[in-house]
Amino acid sequence: MNIILLGAQGSGKGTQAQLLKEKYALVHLSTGDLLREAATKDEQIRKQMAEGKLVSDEQMIALIKAKLASETKGAIFDGYPRTLGQAEALDEITQIDGVIELKLTDEEALKRLSSRRTCKNCKAIYGAENPPKKQGKCDKCNGEIYQREDDKPEAIKKKAGSLS
Ligand SMILES: [Zn+2]
C-alpha cells in the first residue's frame, strides 16, 4: 500500500506518518532522507548537493524506484510529489492507493506549533498529543525538553506574516 501524505507545517504530518508507518509496516519515504542516503553512495548526487544544485525529477524517481524495490509493504510519501510531473512519474513506477491531506485552520496550526517542544539532547519532538511521560524530560534519553525560539507564538506569527 502506498500513501501520499500532504499537509502544511504544524498540521501534524510527522505524527500521522509515524502512526501510519507503525500500523501498516510502511516505510516513511521522505525525499530529504532519501537524498542524504543517496549522497553517501552516489558520487554524482553528492557533487550536485555539495554545489547546491537540484536533483532532477528523473534522478529522484530513480532513487524512489530503488527504495520501493527493497520494500514489500509499501510507503508513505512525505513531501513528494510536489508537481504534476512528479506525480505522473510516481504513478508510472508504482500504484498509489490513497492521498491523505491534513487540513487545519491557521489558528489550530498556531496552537499546535506553539505546543511543540524539542529535546535539547536527541532532538525528539513532543506536542499536545504526544507529551513526554515525565514533564520536561525526554522519554528517549531523559534530556531536557525546551521550546525552540522559532516555535514560540511570536516567531510563528512573524513567519506567517512574512509569507502573506
Ligand atoms: Zn532526548
Give residue-wise pLDDT tens across range 14-67: 888 888 989 999 998 888 888 999 999 999 999 998 998 888 999 999 999 999
Flag whether pLDDT at 158 surpasses 90: no
More confident residue, 38 or 113: 38
CB 61 within 8 A of CB 109: no
Q: What is the CA radius of gyration of the chain?
A: 18
Q: In angstroms, what is the span from residue 127 Cα to ligand 1's centroid?
A: 14
* Mean pLDDT across 77-101: 91
Cα separations in angstroms, 74 against 6, 49, 59, 118: 17, 27, 20, 30
Q: Domain spanning 3-102: which superfamily?
A: P-loop containing nucleotide triphosphate hydrolases (3.40.50.300)
Ligand 1 center to residue 116 CA distance, Å? 14
Q: How far is the centre of ligand 1, averaged over its atoms, from the C-alpha of 32 (Å)?
A: 22
Residue 101, beta-bridge partner list: 6
- Mean pLDDT throughout 118-128? 91
* Percentage of the chain modeled with pLDDT above 90: 48
Task: Say how many residues make up the chain.
Answer: 164
- Between the CA of 132 and the centroid of ligand 1 the distance, in Å, is 10
* pLDDT score, position 160: 64
Distance (angstroms) between ligand 1 centre and the Cα of 77 equals 26
* Residue 97 Cα to ligand 1 middle (Å): 35
Q: What is the mean pLDDT of residues 68-96?
A: 90
pLDDT-based confidence at residue 103 (cuts at 50, 70, 90): confident
> What is the CA(112)–ligand 1 centre distance, in A?
20
Residue 131 clears pLDDT 50, i.e. is over it:
yes
Report CA(126)–ligand 1 centroid distance (Å).
10
CA of 123 to the centre of ligand 1 (A): 6
Q: What is the pLDDT of residue 164?
A: 42
Tell me the pLDDT of the chain averaged across its residues. 87
Residue 9 reports pLDDT greater than 80: no
Q: Write the single-letter amino acid at 161.
A: G
Contact between 120 and 143 (Cβ < 8 Å): yes
Alpha helices in 75-146 (DSSP H): 84-93, 106-114
User: What's the gap in Å between 5 CA and the centre of ligand 1?
Assistant: 26
For residue 35, report the phi and psi dihedrals to the nearest 5 degrees.
-70, -40
Domain boundaries, the chain: 3-102, 115-150
